[in-house]
Amino acid sequence: MKDWSLTLAVGFLLVLSVVVLKSIAPGLFPLQFIYLVVGIIAFWFFSQINFDIVSIFSKHLYVLSIVLLTTTLIIGRVTRGAVRWIPIGPFSLQSAEFVRPFLLVFFANYLSRSKVTFNKLISAVGLLLVPAFLILVQPSLGVSALTVVGFFGVLLSSNFDKKYILIAIVTVLVITPVFWQVMAPYQRQRVLTFINPSADPLGSGYNSLQSSIAAGAGNLTGRGLGRGIQTQLAFLPEKQTDFIFAAVSEEMGFLGAGLMLLATFVILLRLVKFMENSVSPAARAYISGFFLIYLFQVFIHVGMNLGMLPVTGLPFPLVSAGGSSLLATMIGLGIALGAYKR
């Protein structure tokens, strides 16, 4: 049995992605079509498998994730000072994005098998720090943060003493200075730019200012496909990935951006329904983690496109270009659908 609400919402965002990307970055095709087809197949495949079956391989998926992340640091392709992609012929795999749903499956099973004691929580955090560190040193602060957010979502759905939340918050506050030191210089600059983007409008504040201009330029119906000044004249950087929401807002206006958010809301609403009717506690924990990642990613992406949050480089799920992100989201949604008790 299919969930038509979820399928239609996902389908709408995929079609919107093709339309917008053909307008602002036609050079991505036909490669983007291949990623799209593979993503749809992955979504269908994992949606046909009951979550309990996927759970059997949770430990193997964790080991596979660590291997892929380590392999990236060894043989990965260096782009703009970052080592995030494993070259596979004409394609490239961003392992940090690809492994996210598999890490969620592992932690959902690990934390839901029994009551989460303090010792078990410490052990789980230790297991989390390994992939989080491997992602952070690539460096990919945004994806590393998503991994931690997903873990927190899984934890919230598990049987544990809620006082550990306070301990976790205090721990994060304590280690924040450590993360500040580990962050790459450009990542620190993004945070400082967020505080005062106008201080360097032609340098570190350029992206934030240009995205805000593009997002507000479309008015109600937009300038029209292929007619966006910010997007077509390359004032807006990374328009096909990090700033896709601003590009949609400029060329398709408030209506296009609104429909984009409406379809996303439908997906989030269905994930809540799946959570309430999951096949097992582990399945509920997985969907909880995936829901929080999806919500966090959309919130951060839209916020940074409107100049309200620091630029983190997180794509908009299902709409931004990028095969690894698309594949990870489609696999994650497929597993969530397989965890739904119909």
Helix axis angle for 141-156 and 163-182, nearest 10°, is 170
Q: Which two tokens stand for residue 304?
A: 């940074």
CB-CB neighbours of 287 under 10 Å: 30
Q: Contact 125/132 with Cβ under 8 angstroms?
A: no
Q: Does residue 4 sit in helix, strand or coil? A: helix
Exposure of 264 in the CB half-sphere (CA atoms within 13 A): 24
N residues, the chain? 342
How far is residue 168's CA from residue 180's CA, in Å, rounded to a whole number? 18
Segments making up each domain of the chain, as ranges: 4-338
Q: Which two tokens stand for residue 120?
A: 């078990």
Residue in 132, 126, 60 with CA at minimum distance from that of residue 96: 132
Each of the 342 residues of the chain gets a pLDDT tens digit; together they read 478 899 999 999 999 999 999 999 888 888 899 999 999 999 999 999 999 999 999 999 999 999 999 998 888 777 766 777 888 877 788 888 999 999 999 999 999 887 888 788 889 989 999 999 999 888 787 888 899 999 989 988 887 776 767 776 777 677 767 666 666 676 666 666 655 555 555 555 667 778 888 877 778 888 888 888 888 877 777 788 889 999 999 999 999 999 999 999 999 999 999 999 998 999 999 999 999 999 999 999 999 898 887 777 789 999 999 889 999 999 999 999 999 976
Query: Whole-structure pTM over 0.85, yes or no?
Result: yes
Element (H, E) at 31: helix 31-47
Identity at 145, one-letter amino acid code: A
How far is residue 203's CA from residue 173's CA, in Å, rounded to a whole number? 30
Q: Contact 320/241 with Cβ under 8 angstroms?
A: yes
How far is residue 30's CA from residue 87's CA, in Å, rounded to a whole number? 18
The DSSP bridge pattern shows strands 91-94 and 77-79 to be unpaired
